Amino acid sequence: MTVCNMAALVTFDPTESPEHILEAFRRDGAVILKDVLTSDQLGQVKAELDPWLQATPTGIDDFTGRQTQRTGALVARSVACRDLVMEPTILDLANQFLGPFCERIQLHLTQIINLGPGQGRQPFHRDRLAWGGYLPAEIEPQFNTIWALTDFTEENGATRVVPGSPTWDYERRAGDDEKTQAVMSAGSVLLYSGSVIHSGGENKSDHDRTGINITYCLGWLRTEENQYLSCPPEIAKDLPPELTDLLGYTQGTYALGYYSEPGEMGSVSDLRPPELALGRTPSGRTLGSTATE
């Protein structure tokens, strides 16, 4: 474990105990896990995603980034990204962090974020505002990751973070000595909460800064990326059940997320668990548990 200065993020080896990682994460709102991916894994991720990234236009405003490309639907498009979504250490931390507020977690977003040279600083924000500020402050809705596909440096726009800010009033603004950047090597991953103040940095270098944003949220919230459209049933049916559960092809609670088949009459219950859309039998108790095929 390393700490550099007052506003620095704590950096852990991925073998560190989950308890120690979560202790720092809950206090600061963000930590770094160093060198989680091998060079071979990095190479596979880049090879699978580069064609999609090259075809992606840049943003149209200052928030999405006029020199920034954002590419989604990564579960459908990349086998390697499925492994990132299901990385055991990350998933365990996400479940422990969000577990007090839900019966199950779900995949909220998958996105390449590529900051090109000349990209300015993104405005500071909290990701939880995706839900409009309606969630009570004591409920933490998100557990987020940014996987570094290139080195993240101060010069190329490493993510800016304000450690300790999850508990701040919304009116409070960070001083310069309260800000830091998630400087980390390629293959490392930044973990940050939905409540921590953060933003993309300014890319003053001559090279792209590329990362993968994979985030998780409470199973009873609407997700930022619509997973049913980004990874529809014809693709999801061939994926492992543990992954499709994260995509939302299961009920978030006993009566949350069932569907009705519009073209069928009377053959099964009209309160169908989502697993049936993938040709699977649901596990656990669901409102549509009497529906079988």
Q: Which residues contact 44 (CB under 8 A, 6 or more apart)?
A: 80
| Amino acid identity at 140 | E
> What would the two tokens of residue 237 be?
């049916």
Closest to 182 in 3D by CA, of 220, 132, 219, 144: 144
- With b for 16 or more beta-carbon neighbours within 10 A and e for fewer, the 52-63 pattern comes to bbeeeeebeeee
- What number is the average pLDDT over the span 115-139? 97
- In the predicted structure, residue 247 carries a pLDDT above the cut 70: yes
Q: Which two tokens stand for residue 268?
A: 């099964």
Q: Which two tokens mark 241?
A: 């059940």
Mean predicted lDDT score pLDDT of the chain: 93
Mean pLDDT of 265-280: 83
pLDDT band at 3 (very low <50, low <70, confident <90, very high): very low
* Position 291 confidence tier, pLDDT thresholds 50, 70, 90: very low
Domains along the chain?
11-227 (2.60.120.620), 259-293 (no CATH)
* Mean pLDDT of all residues in 33-60: 97
- If you compute the radius of gyration of the chain from its CA atoms, what whole number of angstroms results? 20
C-alpha span between 268 and 280 (Å, rounded): 14
The strand pair at 30-33 and 11-12 is best described as parallel
Contact yes or no for 121/67 (Cβ under 8 A): no
Q: Which residues are CB-neighbours of 17 under 8 A, at least 6 positions away?
A: none
For residues 202 and 110, what is the distance between their CA atoms, to the nearest angstrom? 22
Please state, for a pLDDT cut of 90, what percent of the chain lies above it: 87
